[in-house]
Structure 1
């Protein structure tokens, strides 16, 4: 059963990594998964939250930082060493076939920390802002999905790695958002005021 799941994962990986390969994606996908590419968005959010929500904005930023830090530590330092799954670009049985668009890295693959971190932030923001702004749901999910998809496309993660990372991150983001919404400064927030 595990071998069949692994084979399915590899088949989907090669469909994305090789089958969808094209010059535009070859140019775009390394940018989408690069943390510096999204720096303007992070700066915009920080300024937006503080300007529009003052004290609550600072709390949102604090809890976003806690969400990211916890998710990254949990996925990178606890789960990856437990599973010890090789990245596709480091797997001796398939690495010659991998269309590797960025340096592979030496860490393990399961779960994808990029996927976990970005889905954690996405679900954190969805949980906080959905009652005020419904468009946050598709925008945040699309943002996290694009980064996760890019991880597979550039050859550093299997699809199940990013799926596991997305599920883990989504749950962590939701929990941290609920913790924030239950702090004293956010009693009015839940009603949409």
Structure 2
């Protein structure tokens, strides 16, 4: 385990030190929440265009539940495992670029988990209509996740674990949403 942690720190330092003052604002923006609101509006539009209002309500409930679970699980892991964020790790003092810093613990990244949750969920619900969408969604999730390394708030293992959890939860909640939608459609066709 010690070797994995050492390797993780080395990869972090390499990636983190690729940054420069010129690009700091861009990556701060990428890592922010509010900058992506227009993208979420586009997601909502695509869902509304492809699903009936009643099904859209179920989809939004499953998204809200999934993001909440994704976020809360990350918090439980952070306090339970207690791995320091890079910006709080004394062994990295004067070796890394600290652009931002967060709470004390960082394993695993809720940014990575939440964005990969949304990417997976939206892919599962819209892939049949928009074949290009997964490429865009997973690129977006990877970019947001990388921003956390760039800024100095997460190690690569924090990101990989967060992405894996988001992918798993996105698959789980989208499968539930699709089952509910199919059941609703079957009930409507039986009545009709």
Pair in the same fold by TM > 0.5: yes
Larger radius of gyration: 2
- Mapped partners of 1:186, 1:114: distance in 2: 34
The alignment's C-alpha RMSD in Å is: 1.8
Paired position in structure 2 for 1:191: none
Q: Return the offset for 1:65.
A: 1.1
Paired position in structure 2 for 1:45: 43
Q: How does 1:1-193 map to 2 (within 5 A)?
A: 2-18=1-17, 20-50=18-48, 52-53=50-51, 54-76=53-75, 78-102=76-100, 104-183=101-180, 184-185=183-184
1:85–1:110: 8 Å Cα contact kept in structure 2? yes
Give deviations 1:73-92, integer Å, cap 9, x for gaps.
1111x211121000000011
Find runs of 4+ consecutive structure 1 residues off by over 4 angstroms.
none
Q: Return the offset for 1:36.
A: 1.0
2:28–2:147: 8 Å Cα contact kept in structure 1? yes
Unpaired segments ≥5 residues, structure 1: 188-193
Q: How many residues align?
A: 184
SS of the counterpart of 2:60? helix
2:88–2:104: 8 Å Cα contact kept in structure 1? no
Q: Return the offset for 1:16.
A: 0.8
Q: Comparing 149-158 with 93-102, which one deviates more in the overlay?
A: 93-102
- Mapped partners of 1:186, 1:161: distance in 2: 40
Q: Comparing 114-123 with 89-98, which one deviates more in the overlay?
A: 89-98
